[in-house]
Amino acid sequence: MVTDRAIVVMVRCPTTGRELSTGIEMDAATFSQLPHIRSNMKCPVCGLDHLWSTREAWLADPAPSLPALPWLLINNRGVGND
């Protein structure tokens, strides 16, 4: 995917296999010129620290998160109100 707009550097959690956003945004031209860089990140999925590198990363638009409110309503249907 070649684009001039900023997209997110993604990596994969080695524990769960899920795709993760690093929170780093850049365009494809800049990403393709990065040297081999290693970085550490605390995984929001499994809670462990993961070492990742630019060789393992890719650019993508991460899936949008579902709003918390519908989850709260669905999972608390049987809970009585005060």
Smallest CA-to-CA distance from 20 within 34, 48, 69 is with: 48
Which residues neighbour 15 within 8 Å (Cβ) at sequence distance 6 or greater?
43, 45, 46, 48, 50
pTM: 0.67
Tell me, yes or no, whether 82 lies in a domain. Answer: no
- What does the pLDDT read at residue 81? 43
Q: How many other C-beta atoms lie within 10 A of the C-beta of residue 59?
A: 20
Tell me, yes or no, whether 2 lies in a domain. Answer: no
Tell me, yes or no, whether 1 lies in a domain. Answer: no
Tell me, yes or no, whether 81 lies in a domain. Answer: no
DSSP-based three-state secondary structure for 72 = helix
44: containing domain: 7-75
Tell me, yes or no, whether 15 lies in a domain. Answer: yes
- What does the pLDDT read at residue 26? 92
Per-residue pLDDT of the chain (82 residues; tens, 9 = 90+): 444 677 899 999 999 999 998 888 999 999 999 999 899 999 988 999 999 999 999 999 876 654 444 444 444 445 444 4
